[in-house]
Amino acid sequence: MQEISDLREETIVEYQAKTEKPPCCLQILCNNKYILVGTYDLNKNTGFRNGSIDIYEYPGLTLLHKIPTYGAILDLKISSHGDRSIMITAHSTGNLMVWKINYDISSFNVTEMLTLQANYQVFHSDTLITSCHFSPLEPQLVLCTATNGKTKLLRIDKTPCESTTRIVQDEKITSINALSCDTLESQHSLECWIGEFGKISPLTNVVFTGGDDSKLIAHDLRMKNEIWSNEGRIHQAGVVSIKASSETFRVSAPTSLITGSYDDHIRGFDLRMLGKDQIYPGKMPVLNMFEKELHGGVWRLCESPKDMNRLLVCCMYNGAKIVEVESDKKTFEEMQYVKKGHDSMCYGGDWSSEFIATCSFYDNSLQVWHTL
């Protein structure tokens, strides 16, 4: 039997639910009462992809409401700014939807929880947006990565100047034309799966992207040009997750990154710097790299709400794990894992102050569990 974890005992799941459509991503509301799940469904007859935002109540995982979307949802993020009332969803039809969250509701009027504020057509409708990210410093700045290898920056506070009606998957759709928003100069030769804003000095003007071409790129947020890349010398397969240091995660290592890849490895390393404030340009090798095989593609990384060195890792076909980053020893240590109930690709996860929620795709599984 293939080894799936360093640990002998698996963490017990508290609640489990079956979703109607395959779940791709999720977020826990900051009040710990609801879980929002984005789904992705492919119609094999038409080739069309559609999805939904499913609202589950905690505890119990009762499905309270579903909001259908004409494009499947690949990513879903709630802004950490202000009252955390803005959410974005990234779709298979090249559009980004902006939602307003109403926290002043109960399970009796949950249909009023989400209101669609805007629908931006960021890429052409045959391009999938693979991930979306709020800037940690500018509340209205959003980063979108896509299957065409490109990455775009969009400001969702600007007054829409042009709305267009177009036919998307045989539906008449009205959206804000954002095709001309800022595009980062360097793109990936294959799908761009993930992006990440630098969060603390000296990387606050840097954006990182990772793609199916095994390439990791650092871009200048101001000039939109490439600063540095390290293609094929770190990862043996596509780069699908990136975690930069922040005020709440590895703050003592501000020029370090954690990455995940289809090659089943999680890695940590330091960027080579030119002085204190600038990444050494070009294709310089990284420093102090350490890695660990997790026996599944390292699809998503979510930081702990309490511990500065721990991550929730969605390991695709090997469930979900909690991993501690031990920088001094240059090691990763598995602390917990959940595989039972995630019998297919574990793509989505979130970690709140009270519980962890994870989901897996083909088995339509949503689970809640706890740290030990």
pLDDT tens sequence across 91-139: 999 999 999 999 998 888 999 999 999 999 999 999 999 999 999 999 9
Phi (first) and psi of residue 65, to 5 degrees: -165, 150
If pLDDT is split at 50, 70 and 90, which confidence band does 214 have? Answer: very high
pLDDT tens profile 39-88? 999 999 999 999 999 999 999 999 999 999 999 999 999 999 999 999 99
pLDDT at 3: 65
pLDDT at 233: 84
Number of domains in the chain: 1
The residue that leads in pLDDT, 159 or 237, is: 237
Average pLDDT of span 328-335: 93
Please check whether residue 337 lies inside any domain of the structure: no
Confidence check: pLDDT of 21 > 50 = yes
Query: 163 and 174 in contact (C-beta within 8 Å)?
Result: yes
pLDDT at 358: 98
Please check whether residue 318 lies inside any domain of the structure: no
Q: Which amino acid makes up residue 100?
A: K
- Surface-to-core class of residue 280, CB atoms within 10 Å of its CB (0-12 exposed, 13-18 middle, 19+ buried): middle
pLDDT tens profile 268-319? 999 999 999 999 999 999 999 999 999 999 999 999 999 999 999 999 999 9
Confidence check: pLDDT of 13 > 60 = yes
If pLDDT is split at 50, 70 and 90, which confidence band does 160 have? Answer: low
Please indicate, yes or no, whether the overall pTM of this predicted structure exceeds 0.95: yes
Please check whether residue 231 lies inside any domain of the structure: yes
Q: Which amino acid makes up residue 347?
A: Y
* Domain extent at residue 110: 18-312
Averaged confidence pLDDT in the chain: 95
Residue 79, domain CATH: 2.130.10.10
Q: Which amino acid makes up residue 17?
A: A
Confidence check: pLDDT of 368 > 80 = yes
The share of the chain scoring above pLDDT 90, in percent, equals 92
pLDDT at 159: 56
Cα 354 versus chain centre, distance? 20
Confidence check: pLDDT of 162 > 80 = no
Q: Which structure tokens are listed for 86?
A: 């803005």
If pLDDT is split at 50, 70 and 90, which confidence band does 1 have? Answer: very low
Please check whether residue 367 lies inside any domain of the structure: no
Please count the other Cβ atoms lying within 10 Å of the Cβ belonging to residue 287: 13
Q: Which structure tokens are listed for 232?
A: 């094929």
pLDDT at 328: 86
Q: Which structure tokens are listed for 207?
A: 């954006």
pLDDT at 4: 87
